[in-house]
Amino acid sequence: MGSLSIQKRKNKGKPRIVWQRYLGTAERVLGTYEQLDNLKLSLKTYDFGGVAAMLSVAEELGFKDIVTRATGDPEAWKHYLLMVPGRFTKSKNKNKTVEWFRETFLPMYLHSFKPYRRCSERWSC
């Protein structure tokens, strides 16, 4: 006898299988589970709430469009947005804000963005 993983949803009030996968025999499932114990995994957690709230507010206000129109540079909004949490959440200077940025989920969200060590390398901030 084997094991199945099944996902069900109600359709017209009755549960229906929407996805299923055969996992193998009990021995295979146990072997796979035991192999996980041998993996050398490390996890990193990121502060999400405050940064996500800031991004939501920036989007609602049209921050990207406002800064792009004011500077004429389509990348400027990222640099100016980076100054907000640095000053708002932890009261960091410009150099420390870049370090803070690297420890958040923002590099994954803005994957091609490379913040300047000093804002003044490009703009006066």
Q: What is the 3-state secondary structure (H, E, C) of 53-104?
A: HHHHHHHHHCHHHHHHHHHCCCCHHHHHHHHHHHHHCCCCCHHHHHHHHHCC
Shared domain check, 22 and 63: no
- Specify the number of domains making up the chain: 2
User: Based on the domain organization, do 32 and 53 belong to the same domain?
Assistant: no
pTM of the predicted protein model: 0.54
Same domain, 33 and 61: no
pLDDT tens digit at each of 125 positions of the chain: 678 888 898 988 899 999 899 988 989 888 888 888 888 888 888 878 888 888 899 999 999 999 999 999 888 888 888 877 666 665 567 677 777 888 888 888 887 887 765 455 554 44
Domain range for 15: 2-38
Report if residue 43 sits inside a domain: no
